[in-house]
Amino acid sequence: MSDLALRVNPLLCDAHGLCAELVPELIELDEWGYPIIDDAPVPHGLESHARRAVAACPTLALLLERRKAAPAAKAQARRSRA
């Protein structure tokens, strides 16, 4: 597993649907053509496909982001550093 995850900016997404064609393993489309994205970490084997989907999105709505630690975990980390 990578520490990357796909996310869509729903304000930009126009339901072109290319992403679901490029990584059907992680993205399916709803009945209106908008992507439903698995927010689990992208498996290493699919990383290049995910990058291709990000690059192919006509509205630049698809993002491949480093997964953030949960806020509670971050607070914990801060406290233990202090």
Partner 1 sequence: MSATQTSIAPAQPRLLSGLRRDGQPVRLAAHVDRYGLLPLELRPEEIRDRIAESGLTGRGGARFPTAAKLDSVLRSRTRPIVVANGVEAEPPSGKDKVLLAYAPHLVLDGAVLAARAVGAKKAMIATTATVHAAVAAAIKERRSDGGVSLSTTVLPDRFVAGEETAVVQFLNGGPALPTFTPPRPYERGVDGAPTVILNVETLAHLALVARFGGAWFRSVGTPEEPGSALVTVSGAVRTPGVHEIELGSPFAHLLQQSGADPQAQAYLVGGYFGTWIDAAHAQSALLSDADLAQYGASLGARAIVVLPAGACGIVETARVARYLAEQSARQCGPCVHGLAAIADSLEQLVHRTRKPPDAGLLRRRLSQVANRGACRHPDGAVAFVASALRVFSTELDRHLHGHRCTGHGRPVLPLP
23: which residues sit within 8 A by CB, 6+ positions away?
A: 6, 46, 49, 50, 52, 53
What is the number of other CB atoms lying within 10 angstroms of the CB of residue 61? 20
Binding flag, residue 31, partner 1 (CB under 8 A): yes
Beta bridge mates, 45: none
Binding flag, residue 18, partner 1 (CB under 8 A): no
Binding flag, residue 69, partner 1 (CB under 8 A): no
The nearer residue to partner 1, 15 or 55, going by C-beta atoms, is 15
Binding flag, residue 10, partner 1 (CB under 8 A): yes
Residues that bind partner 1 (CB under 8 A): 8-15, 30-34, 36, 75
